[in-house]
Amino acid sequence: MRFSRTSVQLCLLGVASLAWSAIASACAAADLPEAPANAWPMFRGTVEGTGRSAAVLPLPLAPRWQKKASEIGYDATPVIADGSIYLGDLDGRFSAFSLADGSVRWTSTGSLGYTAAAAVCGDVVVVGDIEGKVQGLSVADGSTLWTHDSAGEISGGPTVLPASDNLPLRVLVGSQDATLSCLAVADGRLLWSHTIADQIRCSPTVADGRVFLAGCDGKLHVIRTSDGTAEAEVVIDGPTGTTPAAYESRLFFGSEGGTFFSIDVAEPGVDWQMRPAAGGQAYRSSAAIGMPPAGPLAIVGSRARVVEAFSLADGSRSWRQRMRGRIDGSPVVVQAGAAATATEEVAIVGDAAGQIAALRTSDGEILWEFDAGSGFVASPAVADGCLVLATDDGTLWCFDAGQSSP
């Protein structure tokens, strides 16, 4: 069994802005699911959690605009659709910003704060907060369409499931109350729930009709998307809150114990596991799948201040690149043109010291970097030729290949 290329699933998500030409391009990705070039609709871009975008970012990048948008700061990753950025801060403000110039289109208040990314589902944006409240908000004006209450903080971004088999458009949301909820996007009604033994902090990964959760209970859970029934569990070395990346019937993710795993889900079990060269530092970064000429890699940041790349075949370390600060945010893989040369694949990541870097996936060499002056807990988002990141001091950055705006 091999995971299907459900970049096709993104074609079914109902994101209104996706022109059919862009959809066709996304669905034609050669080997891996990718977010379409004009949207980053959920935390890892795709339901499979690959952390890849079909966008091309010519290097070097320059600030298109920057905006001090929050007095408290951001832990959540931005999501992008229809030329709007959707992002909640730690002070309970959830806003839609213009991708073009950073202007605020609307703001919703009334929450205690947001640490999780949202997900865009057509004309609804779904987001959970630190109180455990999940809301469906109108993308047009931020008005509340529905609310679902859980008993624990929402730490992981929602994952959108397409309508199929007489089932409506759905969204999966995990909570620190250890429950995964499947909600109807239209009205927020609970379709099913599944409870594990400890907190859920990751975004759910979905492939071939199954949900994959890496839990704080030290297990990888395999659950049916149709009804929430458990299919299998794989014991790992301890808790984790990272989102697994799915590719070819395997899942790739790291743990709080500092082990990076490949899990075989065709016959559930550990395929391989690797300890980092830096020794013992936790992984809070979710992996992205790189595809350099020498073969596919899992690329991930570490609290040991390094970005590492592991061969999907056997877990051997292909390269490691030191950064200035710990890396809790997750890499995003795109094609990048450097100084008029042909495009090549890069992984873009930000660290706790404020360094943003584009690393060539084949060898980890830094092809472009920028000092933002304040750190990143959240991950990058890419759409429409723009790179968007939010800092822990409340600054929202947008980069492109043009000149800096005033």
> What average pLDDT does the segment 60-68 reach?
96
Domains of the chain, by residue range, sit at: 7-400
Own/partner contacts of 209-215, CB < 8 Å, gap of 24 or more, are: 210/265, 211/159, 211/172, 211/180, 212/244, 212/246, 212/251, 212/265, 213/174, 213/180, 214/240, 214/241, 214/242, 214/243, 214/244, 214/251, 214/253, 214/255, 215/178, 215/239, 215/240
Q: Tell which phi-psi region holds residue 214, choosing left (phi > 0), alpha (psi between -120 and 50) or beta.
A: beta
70-84: average pLDDT: 97
Model confidence pLDDT, tens digit, residues 247-287: 999 999 999 999 999 999 999 999 999 986 555 689 999 99
Cβ atoms within 10 Å, residue 372: 20
pLDDT at 403: 52
Per-residue confidence (pLDDT) for residue 342, from 0 to 100:
59
Q: Is residue 304 within 8 Å of 279, Cβ to Cβ?
A: yes
Among the listed ranges 23-32, 69-78, 83-92, 208-217, which one has the minimum average pLDDT value? Answer: 23-32
**Mean predicted confidence (pLDDT) in 15-36:** 48
From 141-145, 195-199, 237-241, 279-283, the region with the lowest mean pLDDT:
279-283
Please spell the DSSP secondary structure of 274-329, one letter per residue.
Answer: E--TT-SPPP-SPPEEE--TT--EEEEE-TTSEEEEEETTT--EEEEEE-SS---S
Mean pLDDT over each residue of the chain, to the nearest integer:
90
pLDDT at 5 over 80: no
Q: Rounded distance, CA 140 to CA 339, Å?
A: 39
The larger pLDDT score, comparing residue 403 to residue 263, is at 263
The H-or-E segment that residue 23 falls in is helix 20-27
pTM (2 d.p.): 0.91
Residue 32's identity, in one-letter code, is L
Cβ 102 vs Cβ 66: under 8 Å: yes
Q: What is the mean pLDDT of residues 181-205?
A: 97
Query: Given the DSSP bridges, would you call strands 52-56 and 332-337 parallel, antiparallel or unpaired?
Result: parallel
- For 284, the token pair is 């809070």
CA neighbor of 395 nearest in space, from 377, 384, 404, 226: 377
pLDDT band of residue 101 (cuts 50, 70, 90) is: very high
| Residue partners of 163: CB distance under 8 A and separation at least 6 | 12, 169, 170
pLDDT at 13 over 50: no
Is the pLDDT at 339 greater than 60, yes or no?
A: no
**Stretch (H or E) spanning 121:** strand 119-121
User: What pLDDT score was predicted for residue 41?
Assistant: 98
Judged against a pLDDT cut of 50, whether residue 25 lies above it is answered with: no
What kind of fold does domain 7-400 have according to CATH?
Methylamine Dehydrogenase; Chain H (2.130.10)
Question: Residue 17 has what pLDDT?
Answer: 34
